[in-house]
Homo-oligomer: A and B are copies of this chain.
Amino acid sequence: MNTYPSRLLEEAVIELVRLPGIGKRTALRLALWILKQDASRAELLGQSIINLRNNISYCKICHNIADSEVCNICADDKRDPAIICVVEDVRDVMAIENTGQYKGLYHVLGGIISPMEGIGPQDIHLDTLIQKTETNRISEVIMALPSTTEGDTTAFYIYRKIQKNVQVISAISRGIAIGDDLEFADEVTLGKSIKNRIPFTV
């Protein structure tokens, strides 16, 4: 599929194909779909992409995506500023917010330490987290990082830097998901699930 009948079509496909997970065929399908829509639809789509990148802010407290200097969560005085949940990116914030179970604040690292990908402690928002624990009275820091070597490394790095300033350092529990069968669980998860058993409640 190299012979595009139109330069405009080819340019759109070239840009769409850069998107992660979008191949050449899908990009062409999307471009032809766009052609069949109202001009206002294409305008809204194109403009929303440009606006997103040009006008987005990041919260100066937690580094979450925001429309202003401070995000809605950090600005909400009903939330407990003494509890900080450390996450990799904004998707994790959204996932935890969706549960409605958490009333503390967040700290978005914007990445995790990964020597393989050349991402060191200085490349993610670690300094501001450490500063927070030094200057504010933080009662608990919750690690909600990926359960990978990189996630564990990052959590351990943070732990060493903040342990003297913070009363409680916790991590989200790992275990068998609600509704999942034990026989299909992987050994590591099931092992952790038994080791970290909790009191039975009725």
Residues of A within 8 A of B (CB): 1-9, 11-12, 14-16, 18-21, 26, 28-35, 37, 39, 41-57, 64-67, 71-73, 89-91, 93-95, 97-98
Given the known A-B contacts A1-B95, A35-B56, A55-B8, are A15 and B45 also in contact in the complex, defined by CB atoms under 8 Å? yes
Contact of A18 among B43, B45, B64 (CB under 8 A): B45
| Contact call A54/B39, Cβ cutoff below 8 A | yes
The answer for the CA separation of A26 and B91 in the assembled complex, in Å, is 12
New contact pairs (12) apart from A12-B52, A34-B52, CB-CB < 8 Å: A3-B98, A5-B65, A8-B51, A12-B48, A15-B48, A20-B30, A21-B29, A35-B56, A35-B65, A37-B53, A42-B52, A46-B47
Q: How far is the CB of A93 from chain B (nearest CB, A)?
A: 6
Assuming A42-B52, A73-B5, A98-B1, is B35 touching A30 (CB within 8 A)?
A: no
In Å, the complex CA distance between A51 and B33 comes to 14
Main SS at interface, chain A: helix
Complex CA gap A56/B91 in Å reads: 37
Contact of A8 among B21, B33, B52, B72 (CB under 8 A): B52
Give the CA-CA distance A57 to B35 in the complex, in Å: 10
Nearest chain B CB to A61 CB, angstrom units? 13
A11 partner residues in chain B, CB cutoff 8 A: 48, 51-52
- Given the known A-B contacts A20-B33, A72-B5, A91-B32, are A50 and B52 also in contact in the complex, defined by CB atoms under 8 Å? no
29 cross-chain CB contacts under 8 A:
A1-B94, A3-B94, A3-B97, A4-B94, A5-B64, A5-B66, A5-B71, A5-B72, A5-B73, A5-B94, A8-B67, A11-B48, A11-B51, A12-B51, A12-B52, A14-B48, A15-B45, A16-B45, A18-B41, A18-B45, A39-B53, A39-B54, A42-B49, A42-B54, A43-B54, A45-B49, A46-B46, A46-B47, A49-B49
